[in-house]
Structure 1
């Protein structure tokens, strides 16, 4: 039987590697790809996608019942929650300082620093630390978080066009990583990366968050943007050649389809199983689009996606 030659794509670009952690904390390396996801026969993808588990600095009040029941009383304290996340197989902890939102507590730098210190002392995993998503408050609390985690190389966000100078400066000062967040637009993504680079943030200290959706047109568009960013990087565009972070879990669980059990079609099935499958499928989609870190919520969905990654990588 004649040998069949497998056609191979030749890429000129490579995604930069970024190390998160250190200073006595475990280290995780993401990026480094020189071909599309899981095509190990074609070229080197040295670092499989990593799973970050979402932890809040306050007890969630709007989470769906299946998600709350999976975590139990652990959600009452960020340190306890982070320890539980380690048990569920987290590669990283994603701490969200949501209590700082002007409409959700409006806490300040002191409270943010205390929450970060609590999680840092509870676990030795690398940290992603995010503000409440309001640029002015992000500047306040992320500056405090940066100081609390100095020397431990955490990833900080959200670093957006409105506040990139402040977040970029604290990353430079304290040796952290900037999470460059843009709203589903490859040109805005590149522009923010250029601005961070121009102010001196090193290439190994930038992670992109091009955003995503989790339902219908949202996931289709999110998949497309993330894939375009990765294709541009492999094609040699240095300003897209950074690892990608994706918040698949949070996007899924804020939709009514992951929360509604009454008045829905029977074909939707059991609420808990439906939501877990949806989170796992969304995460599977985004890692196939090129995402390097996926932030997730439900332990059973996390278990499924980690098994999927192992099967796709053969490890």
Structure 2
């Protein structure tokens, strides 16, 4: 409970500087849900009498249903997308990995692609340095899967702050090395040893990820209740906070409970895979957060000189303090949040 109070205070501090309209002061938080070195807390939004528009998909389901076309255009740092749906908008999250083409990529920013969008060019970064050609039976022109997110804060910061391709590749190599050390075996894929995605798809890693998901424990008043998955029947859950070894490492808050519900498993898998690379000791054995580290977390953020208009009227802002970056995507026409992402530096 100490962890959630600390981070709730952090969120409240950011609340007075962020542009979004999420009212954290009145939000409900539950947790911790815990296993080994990972905990998570759920964030609840306010009940809204306005019925949410159900006509939105996330990238994974849009690709699976053939409602989005993602194409190579001859540039490492750009791909072309087209929403083929007549009725559904598509949410794409920063860090979404797209598989195929001449090399796997990850998307730079959050996007909200409206129905029948036509062809739109969006910025991305390569997460597979050793390939620029067709791989196996995959298409070299199109990207046909998006099941994973980038699972590492350093890569995401290189992506979103520095926009440094070489730093992204170095981050991929480090994640692969860390996972190899954890499993005492080589998790790199023979088809492409530099592919972050193929490493994240490794059977050993995914088996352990499923073990995390299936055996989480919720601790309440010295009792333990086994839960198989988060209870998503409550329609007001809008976000999730992740803690590893008594440090809040990341959080994802959404403006829509529906988008959270659709993104939940993908975000959780990514956080688990990062926690696996960070394995040192069980949470119960980790050192408590010090007053000094708490004060560092609570330092008021200053808005960076990064604020830009993205596709389809999405406003993108970056904030930071000594310990965290905060990435905020808003619908610019009404100021409502699309996604807010907190990353420990």
User: In proportion to residue count, which structure has more helix?
Assistant: 1
TM-score range, shorter chain: under 0.3
TM-score by length of 2: 0.24
As a proportion of its length, which structure holds more strand?
2
